[in-house]
Structure 1
Amino acid sequence: MNPGRPFEPPSQPRTQRTAKTTARPASARLPSLTGLRFAAAGAVVYTHARLLVSPHLVGTFGPEVWVSMSSVSLFFILSGYLLTHSARPTDTAWTFWRRRAAKILPNHVFTWCVAVAVLVGAGGVAAISGAGAAALVANLLLVNTWIPSSRFVFAGNPVSWSLAAEMFFYLLFPVLLPRVERLSRRGLLIGSAMAIAVVWTWPVLCGFVINPAGAFFPGYWFLYVLPVTRLPEFLLGMMVARLSMTGGRLPRVGAVPAGLSAVGMVVFSGDHLSHTFMYAAVNVVPLALLVHATARLDLEGKPSLLRARPVVFLGEISYAMYLVHALVLTAAFVCLTDRGWSRGAAVVVALPLVPLASWLLYVTVERPCMRQFATARRCHTREPSNK
Structure 2
Amino acid sequence: MATAKARIHGLDMLRGGAAAAVMVHHHAQYYDVLYPGRVPLAIDLGAGHFGVELFFIISGFVILMSLEAKKSVRAFAVSRAGRLLPTFLVTLILATAILTVSPMPPLETPTALQFLANLTMAPSLFNQSPIDLPYWTLTYELLFYIYMAFVLYFGALRQTERLGLLLMAMGCLYWALADIEHHRRTSILLMVHYSSFFVIGMCLYRIHMRAARPITYTALVAALATTAFGGGEQAFYAPGSVYLPLTLAFTALVWLATSHGSKWPVWRPFLFLGQISYPLYLVHVVLGFEIIRFGTNHGWSTLDGVMAAGLASFVAATVLHYAVELPGMRWSRSLLVRARPVALTDSLFQSGQPSSPSVTDASRSGETRPEF
**Alignment-derived partner of residue 278 in structure 1:** 238
The residue aligned with 1:346 is 305
**Structure 1 residues 177-232: Cα deviation after superposition (integer angstroms, max 9, x where no partner):** 5766424xxx94x76666666665554345xx334xxxxxx588776x66633344
Deviation at 1:48, TM superposition (A): 0.5
> Is 1:302 the counterpart of 2:282 in the alignment?
no
Distance 1:300 1:43 in 2: 27
Determine the structure 1 residue equivalent to 2:22. 44
Q: Does 1:228 align with 2:188?
A: no
For residues 313-324 of structure 1, what are the structure 2 equivalents within 5 Å? 313-324=272-283
> Hey, what's the Cα distance between the residues in 1 that align with 2:89 and 2:190?
20
Q: Does 1:204 align with 2:184?
A: no
Of residues 72, 91, 100 in structure 2, which corresponds to 1:120?
Answer: 100
Alpha carbons of 1:40 and 1:324: their partners in 2 closer, same or farther (altered >3 Å)? same
Percentage of identical aligned residues: 24
Q: How far, CA to CA, are the matches of 2:316 and 2:201 in structure 1?
A: 30
Equivalent-residue separation in structure 2 for 1:203 and 1:90 (angstroms): 34
Partner of 2:86: 106
**CA distance in structure 2 between the partners assigned to 1:164 and 1:231 by the alignment:** 12
Q: Provide the C-alpha distance between the structure 1 equivalents of 2:245 and 2:172, rounded to a whole number of angstroms.
A: 11
Unaligned runs of 5+ residues in structure 1 are: 1-25, 212-217, 251-261
Give the TM-score of the pair, scaled to structure 2. 0.70
SS of match in other structure, 2:67? coil
Alpha-carbon deviation of 1:369?
A: 1.3
Q: Kindly state the Cα deviation for residue 30 of structure 1 after the two structures are TM-superposed.
A: 2.3
1:327 aligns with 2:286: yes
Post-superposition offset of 1:247: 4.6
Deviation at 1:350, TM superposition (A): 2.3
Aligned-pair CA distance for 1:73: 2.1
**Are the aligned partners of 1:37 and 1:318 in contact in 2 as well (CA < 8 Å)?**
yes
Deviation per residue, 1:111-148 (Å, 9 max, x gap): 11111111221269xx668xx3212210122231214x
Shift of the alpha carbon at 1:246? 3.0
d(CA) in 2 for partners of 1:175, 1:280: 32
1:164-175 aligned at under 5 Å gives the runs: 164-175=139-150
Aligned to 1:5: none
Equivalent position amino acid for 2:371 in 1: N
Contact 2:60 2:198 in 1 (8 A): yes
Aligned residue among 153, 157, 181 for 2:129: 153
Structure 1 residue 345: Cα displacement:
2.6
CA RMSD between the two structures: 3.9
CA contact (8 A) 1:78 1:291 kept: no
For 2:213 and 2:309, the matched residues in 1 are separated by 45
**Change in 2 beyond 3 A, CA 1:167/1:373:** same
Cα distance in 1, alignment partners of residues 9 and 285 from structure 2? 26
3-state SS, counterpart of residue 30 of structure 1: helix
Is 2:250 the counterpart of 1:290?
Answer: yes
Q: Distance in 2 between matches of 1:65 and 1:277?
A: 13
- Is residue 208–residue 260 contact of structure 2 (8 Å, CA) maintained in 1? no
The reply to whether residue 74 of structure 1 matches residue 74 of structure 2 is no
Q: Please give the TM-score of this superposition, normalised by the length of structure 1.
A: 0.68
- For residue 82 of structure 1, report the CA deviation from its aligned partner: 0.9
**Match 1:138 to one of 89, 110, 117:** 117
The 3-state SS of whatever aligns with 2:261 is: coil
Letter in 1 for 2:65: H
Q: Tell me whether 27-36 or 323-332 shows the greater mean CA deviation.
A: 27-36
For the 8 Å contact 2:27–2:309, the answer to whether it is kept is: no
Distance in 2, Cα, partners of 1:243 & 1:196: 20
Deviation (angstroms), 1:52: 5.5
Unpaired runs of 5+ residues, structure 2, are 37-43, 215-223, 341-359
Distance 1:370 1:90, change over 3 A: closer
Deviations 1:298-321 (A, max 9, x none): 43222223x333322211111111
Query: Is 2:22–2:48's contact at 8 Å kept on the other side of the alignment?
Result: yes
CA separation in 2, counterparts of 1:65 and 1:82?
A: 27
